[in-house]
Structure 1
C-alpha cells in the first residue's frame, strides 16, 4: 500500500509540475489546421527534407543520458569564467549595422535601423529542471532590462536552449513583433503575447518588414519538442535581407544539401552563423561538426562565418573549447573570414578588417 501511495504521489507531483507554463502548449485549432496543410507535415509530424534519424545508433535517449552520467566529465566545462563584455545596447546608434553574439545561439542585431533579437536565453538553466543544463560561469552578462525596444524577435525552434520561458516572458513589454516557425506561436499565445503580433512561417516563406527588409524562413535539419512529444512544431533557420546586405542564421541543423540550395538562391551572404557545437557521433545528423560547418559556410557563399551553438552550455561529450579550435583549423584554407568575438562584443558589418582574438586559449 505504501508503495502504491508513493507512486501516486510521484505521479500527481509530476503531473502538477508539467502544468507549469514553461512547458508551453501544443498547436491546436486553426494553428493545427494550418500545420496540417504544410507539405512538410506528414503522418502527424514535421519531417526533414532528407532522411534524418535523431540518433545515429539504434538506442534510447535514456541510455545516452546514463552513458553520459557514467563518463568522464573533465573538460566539458571551463575551469574559469568565460570572458565577456557588456556593451550598452541602449547607447548604440540604431543606424549602425551590427551583430552581437550573446552566447550559444542568441544574437542582438541592428540592420537598416531596426533591432532584432534571435533565440534569447538569459536564464542560468536551459532545461526543464534546474542544474540539468547550466550555463558556464560568466556567460550571462545580460538580462531583459539590458535590451532596448526590439522590432522583431526571431525564434528558430522550441528547444529549451533556444526558447526560454523566463526570458521571453520578461521581454514581452519590449517586443514589437515575433517571427517563428509553424506551431511555435502556440507558446507565445500561452505566454500572453498578442496573437496578432506573432507570425509563423513554413520553410521558404518570406515576410516583408519595415525599412526595406525581408525575413526568410528557411529549412534546417533537426527536430523539435520540449518533452516527450516530438516534431509537432517546425525547426527553421532565418535569412535577413536588407538593401545593403544578407545575413543567415542556421538555427540548430545537421549538414545537408539545403545549405547549397540556400546559397544558390540568395547568391551568397555577407555573414552566416552556423551551428557547429554539441556534435556527437551518436547524433551525427542533427548537429554539424566544425568541419561540416566550414563546408556549409562555403556552400552558402559566406563572406564571414560566426560560430554558433557554442561557448555557454555543455550538451555533448567534447571539451567545451574544442569547437573553437576545430573551426579555426577548418577555416584556415577557406574563402571566408572567421570571426570569434567574446560574448557581447559587437561585429561591425561595415568593417571587413575587424579581427578578434582566440579568447578560449
Structure 2
C-alpha cells in the first residue's frame, strides 16, 4: 500500500496544532449578545461609538490587514538601542503618596487613595497572540508580575492585545482583588479563570467604588474592540479615578471627539491625564489621536499635567518610534498643562507640581 502520509506533512500538522493550542486561549471568549442588549451603546448586534466610525474587519479580513501592514514602509519603527528605564520597587512606595508610574505604551501603575491600581497592564514582551509578532522594544520590560505587590483593582479600557494581555491577566489573577472593564469583557476574564465576583462589567457613565473615598468612573471613548473574532462585542472605555483630593483620567485608545468636552463638564478639571497620542495613521484618524489632538484634549479637560501615552514600547503605526514624543513636546509649548516625560518605571509624584523629567528619547540613535 502506498503511504500517503509524509514526515514533513506530519511535522507541519503538529506545528499547526501546537500553534492553535498556544494561540486559542489568548483570543478570549465572546459574551452572549442577549446579555449586552440593555446597554444604550449596543445597537443592531454591536457596540457603537457616539460618533459613527467606519466598520473594522474581523476574522480573515483582520489577518489580511495585519499582513498588509507588516509590508508597509516604516520610518525607524523601533530604536536601535535599548531604551532607558527605571526599575522602581513598586511594593516599597509609600501608600500615602499618590503616584503614577508609566510602564510603557498604555500600561500604568497607580497609587491613589491608599490603593494600588493597574491600568491596561501588559507585562508580556509582545502584544499579539503570536510571540514575536509585535515585540516590545529592548529595555522596556523591566518588571515581572512576581515582583508586583497585591493589586486592589485592574482597569481594562478595551480588549485589544496591547491593552488586554492573556498571560499578564492569568499571572495577575491571584494578586488582584477586582477587575473593572466595559460590558462584554467579562467573558474573556471568566474564560481565563477569573471568578465572577472579581469582575465588574460596566456601561459608560457608571461608577465603581473601589474603596471608601476612591471612585472609578467608566467613561466614553471613540474606538472599537475585537480579538480576531467578531468586532465590537465588548465595550471600550476611558476612566476617571477620583478621591476627595485628586482626579486622574486615562483615555485608553480613542479618537478626538466631543466626549472630552462632556467629561470636562462633569469633572471640571483633572490633576493628571494620560492620553492616547502614540499610534496614529490616516486610516485610524477616527479611533486614535495624534499628539496635537491629545494636546487639544488635555486643554479641554483642564488638565494640570499630561502624560502622552500609547508609545515607547510597541510599534503599531508607520511613524518613527520617537516621533510621538517630539510632537507632544512641540504641541505643549505655551499650553496651560505641564507635559510629563518620565522614563518607563519612573514615579510621577502627583503632589509635586515642580517635579521635572529629562527628554530621555533624545540622542539615543
Q: Deviations over 1:195-253 (max 9, x none)?
A: 11110110111112213111100000000000031000000000000010100000100
- State the match for 1:159 in structure 2: 160
Contact 1:85 1:344 in 2 (8 A): yes
CA-based RMSD of the aligned residues comes to 2.4
What is the CA deviation profile of residues 131-173 of structure 1, one whole-angstrom value per residue up to 9, with x for unaligned ones?
Answer: 2100000110001011100011111111000111111111111
Asked whether the 8 Å contact 1:54–1:285 carries over to 2, the reply is no
- Provide the C-alpha distance between the structure 2 equivalents of 1:276 and 1:113, rounded to a whole number of angstroms: 29
Q: How does 1:1-361 map to 2 (within 5 A)?
A: 13=17, 16-17=20-21, 20-28=24-32, 32-53=33-54, 64-361=65-362
Find the aligned partners of 1:348 and 1:98 in 2 and give their Cα distance.
5
Cα separation, 2, equivalents of 1:78 and 1:159: 24
Structure 2 distance, partners of 1:97, 1:337, is: 17
Does the CA-based 8 Å contact 2:75-2:318 persist in structure 1?
no
Q: Could you tell me how far apart the structure 2 residues matched to 1:211 and 1:39 are?
A: 29
What TM-score comes out, normalization by structure 2 length? 0.91
Pairwise CA distance, 1:72? 3.3
**8 Å CA contact 2:23, 2:130 repeated in 1:** no
- Cα deviation for residue 15 of structure 1 reads 9.6
Partners of 1:234 and 1:207 lie apart in 2 by 16
Q: Which moved more, 1:340-349 or 1:17-26?
A: 17-26
Change (3 A) 1:90 1:73: same
SS of the aligned residue for 1:208 comes to strand
Instruction: Quote the Cα distance in structure 2 between the aligned partners of 1:9 and 1:166.
Output: 25
Runs in 1 of length 4+ with deviation above 6 angstroms? none
Quote the offset at 1:14 in angstroms. Answer: 9.3
Q: Within 2, Cα distance between the matches of 1:244 and 1:124?
A: 36
- Would you say the 8 A contact 2:153–2:210 is kept in 1? no
TM-score, normalization: structure 1?
Answer: 0.92
Post-superposition shift, 1:19? 7.0
Q: Post-superposition shift, 1:67?
A: 4.5
- 1:22: Cα distance to partner? 1.2
Measured in 2, the distance between the counterparts of 1:119 and 1:22 equals 15
Q: How many matched pairs?
A: 354
Post-superposition Cα deviations, 1:63-95, rounded to whole Å, max 9, x if no partner, equal 654543333344110010111000001111111
Residues 44, 256 of structure 1: alpha-carbon distance in 2 compared, 3 angstrom cutoff: same
Distance 1:14 1:224, change over 3 A: farther
Deviates more, 1:207-216 or 1:12-21: 12-21
